[in-house]
Structures are given as C-alpha cells and as structure tokens.
Amino acid sequence: MGSVPAATPSVREICRAQRADGPAAVLAIGTANPAHCVPQDEFPDFYFRATNSDHLTALKGKFKRVFQKLGVERRYLHHTEELLRAHPEFLDDEAASLDARLDIVATAVPELAAEASKKAIAEWGRPAADITHLVVTTNSGAHIPGVDFRLIALLGLRPSVRRTMLYLNGCFAGSAALRLAKDLAENNRGARVLVVCAELTLMLFNGPKEGSFERLIHQGLFGDGAGAVVVGADPLSPVEHALFEMVSAAQTVIPDSGDAITMHITKGGFGGNISTREVPVFIGDNVERCLHDSLEPLGVGAKWNDLFWAVHPGSSAILDRIDTVLQLEPEKLAASRRVLSDYGNMFGVTIIFVLDELRRRLREQEGVGGAPEWGVVMTFGPGLTVETMVLHATGHMHASP
Ligand SMILES: CC(C)(COP(=O)(O)OP(=O)(O)OC[C@H]1O[C@@H](n2cnc3c(N)ncnc32)[C@H](O)[C@@H]1OP(=O)(O)O)[C@@H](O)C(=O)NCCC(=O)NCCSC(=O)CC(=O)O
C-alpha cells in the first residue's frame, strides 16, 4: 500500500464531515385525496346497492350499527359505483381479481402520491430536483418499477435520487418511512428526503359476507389518501423552516400479539384478520411502557398532558382506550379524532394528515397563550408493532402561516 499524504483526513473525519450538524426536521407537509367523497351515513346504501346486496337487510342493519361506532363521518374513495359496475369480479372474494386491482392502482396510486408531493414541495420552497432521497410506502400495490420510480417523472426528481420503496407495512408505514427519513437526513449532510405514503382501499374492496366481521371493518373504516413530508437537517435560511424537529424514533412489538392484525395478498385482493376486540386492549396495556422507553432516555420528563400528541386513529375505540390509560385532556387527541372523522383510517397515510392537522391546532393554541413544545407521534400496525417518535415543535412552526 502506498504512503498516505499528510493532508488526507482520517476515515473518522470524513465520516463526521458526511453527517449533518443538527437533528432532522419536518420541513413541509402535503396531503391529497380522491375527489369521490362518501358520507358515512350514506355508505351502507352505496355499498349494498353497488354490490347488489340490498336483500341482506339484517347484515346492512349491523353495518349501520357498527359504522356509528368507528368515529368516521366521511371518507374519500377512488372506487365509484361506475368503476365497480365495470369490475363485477371485485364483489366476489373467490374471483381472481388481483390483476385487475393491481392494474388500477399502478396508475392511480402514483398520481395521488404526486398530488400530495407537489403540495409538500411547494410549501418547502425549493425545486423538486433538490430532493436527494425518496422514501415511498404503500400497501396498495406490488409493482417494480413501483410508485417511487413513477414519481421521478411525475415530480421532475433527479434520476440519481436515492429511492427506498416500503410495501405492506400496514398502518405504521408512515412512521416507518419518517423514521428512515430521519436517519437518512442526519447521516447525509445536505440530504433532503421526500417521504410519500399513498393508499387506495380498492385492494380490499369486497362484497358483504354473513359472519365476516373483518369484512365489515374493512369496508367501513378505511379510506383513500396520500401524504408527503419533506425531511432535512440544518435548514437553509431563509428558504427552509423546521416545523417539528425529529428527536428520536423507536419501534417495538407487543408480546404475543402477532395474530391481532394480519394482511396478505390473495387472488381476490387482500386477505387478513383484525381482532377488533383485542387490538384496543393490547394497545392500552402497552402504551405507557412504549412511551417511557422513548422519553426516559432523552430526559424529557413532561407529564402526558404537557405534551402534544399525534396518534394513529385506528378507530375511536383505540383512541378512547389511550385517553383512558393516559388520562389525557379531551383536546390532546383532537387532531387524531378529526382526521379519523373526516377521512377514515388511511393506513400509514393517516399519521401525515394528523401531523398536518396538529400543526394547525398548535398554531391556534400558540395564539391564545402557549402550545406544548414537546410531543409524541405514535402509530400501530401488524405485529402488533408500535412506532414512536419524539418531536420538538420549533418557533417557525408556531410563526409560519
Ligand atoms: C369494532 C368496534 C367499532 C366495535 O365497537 P364496540 O366494541 O363498542 O361495539 P359493540 O360491542 O357494541 O358491538 C357492536 C356490534 O358488533 C358486534 N361485534 C363487535 N366486535 C365483534 C367481533 N370482533 N366479531 C363479531 N362481532 C363483533 C357486536 O356483537 C355487536 O353486534 P350487534 O349490534 O348485532 O349486537 C370497536 O371494537 C373497535 O373500533 N375496535 C378496534 C378496531 C380496530 O382494530 N382498528 C384497527 C384497524 S387496523 C390499523 O389501524 C392498523 C393496521 O391495519 O395496520
């Protein structure tokens, strides 16, 4: 090996120079939904008519009773009655409909993802070509090249953007993507990471079925949407503004809960199980331990009501359980409840909508005497997996329009 010139830095020095100085931060947020809005009280009529099932009057009655308990007032859906008429195979879970579903989402998911991304990039204030990394997540598809690849052309990203595609992460997908973006931004000086989550529930649309409670939850709870976040460290003043600093991120599994939520691809779209009675109990029994594990190592000793909260609204029963265990004041989960009410559970997309709603609420609170500085993002999904992220709201968050 030849001799190394004296001026050559050590690997450690090179490594340090490659890292950002400050923490990763949320720099901008964008959201989008399909145009077709279905009020929850009109959904049973829409659903039973569109699936030629109006004769199942008892089942329809049960749908109506359970729908009222989910905490959802309206949802946006890509599938319309017209689309369903063109695809009678979507009504029958025994029919081989996967290819037709994948054909539809292959175009519709990237388009919705691009709509949310364009809003985030516009708010960020720099050109799309300045995005260095792309992290995309969806449960609605299984393609390669995938949504990440399609976004290069749809957004005008540089061909050398470093892409990571996460499929099938359930409802914690948004948090997983943000956690990855935090590590990318902090470990690559100057990195600007575009996180994109997009979901269409067409993959799990099916006709009603006697005795299948999951079917009822699938059709009544989940909605379509896309969310995008620009993440970066050391914002370039005066163009960029940190909204939330991403202080720490963690993931854990709840013991013995592996069967509580499952998802898999079948010839008829998605199969799987949601143990609706057990999921709120598992989460309630474990939420405090997960929070302590995240906050204690940081020395953030705030009481639960001194924090702001961005919690994945799996359903109102889950939020109620968290409220009870943590004894939260009513407004603490208000952003989560509002998103659940206005959009339904959009899998991993939901948490991005909650962050967007939360920043609006924190600004309003700041205007009337002070909003919390520290907060927690918490999401759940198959595993049962719990993702937590500790956030610090900046002055910019409170000041920007
Ligand atoms: C499903 C619920 C709305 C039901 O609310 P309640 O428990 O208050 O309702 P309830 O006990 O009065 O029941 C209302 C009716 O539903 C029936 N019922 C309730 N649970 C049932 C079950 N598991 N199986 C069969 N029937 C059931 C009751 O018998 C009753 O029928 P009758 O009226 O005929 O007497 C709630 O339990 C809930 O929100 N659970 C959590 C949902 C969940 O797991 N979300 C996570 C989504 S997944 C996610 O977010 C992450 C991811 O996917 O990755």
Question: For the segment 314-327, what is each residue's pLDDT rounded down to a tens digit?
Answer: 999 999 999 999 99
Pick the last residue of a domain from 166, 201, 233.
233
Q: Is the four-CA dihedral 76, 79, 82, 84 of positive or negative sign? A: negative
Q: What is the pLDDT of residues 236-287, one digit of tens each?
A: 989 999 999 999 999 999 999 999 999 999 999 998 899 999 999 999 999 9
Residue 48 is assigned to a structural domain of this protein: yes
For the Cβ of 348 lying below 6 angstroms from any atom of ligand 1, the answer is no
Residue 300 and residue 184 in one domain: no
pLDDT at 80 over 50: yes
Residue nearest to atom 34 of ligand 1 (CA): 62
Residue 2 is assigned to a structural domain of this protein: no
Q: How far is the CA of 277 from the centre of ligand 1 (A)?
A: 6
From 218, 253, 270, select the one nearest 102 (Cα to Cα): 270
From 216, 215, 230, 140, select the one nearest 181 (Cα to Cα): 230
Residue 360 is assigned to a structural domain of this protein: yes
Residue 205 and residue 327 in one domain: no
CATH number, domain containing residue 140: 3.40.47.10
**How many independent structural domains does the chain possess?**
2
Residue 263 is assigned to a structural domain of this protein: yes
pLDDT at 396 over 70: no
Residue 355 and residue 248 in one domain: yes
Residue 207 and residue 346 in one domain: no
Task: Give me the pLDDT at residue 174, please.
Answer: 98
Question: With pLDDT > 90 as the criterion, what percentage of the chain qualifies?
Answer: 88
Domain limits at 333? 244-393
Give the nearest ligand 1 atom to 318 CA. 41
Pick the last residue of a domain from 203, 233, 263.
233
Residue 17 is assigned to a structural domain of this protein: no
pLDDT at 364 over 90: no
Residue 31 and residue 119 in one domain: yes
* Residue 112 contacts residue 226 (beta carbons within 8 Å): yes
At residue 174, φ and ψ (nearest 5 deg) are -65, -45
171 carries an active-site annotation: yes
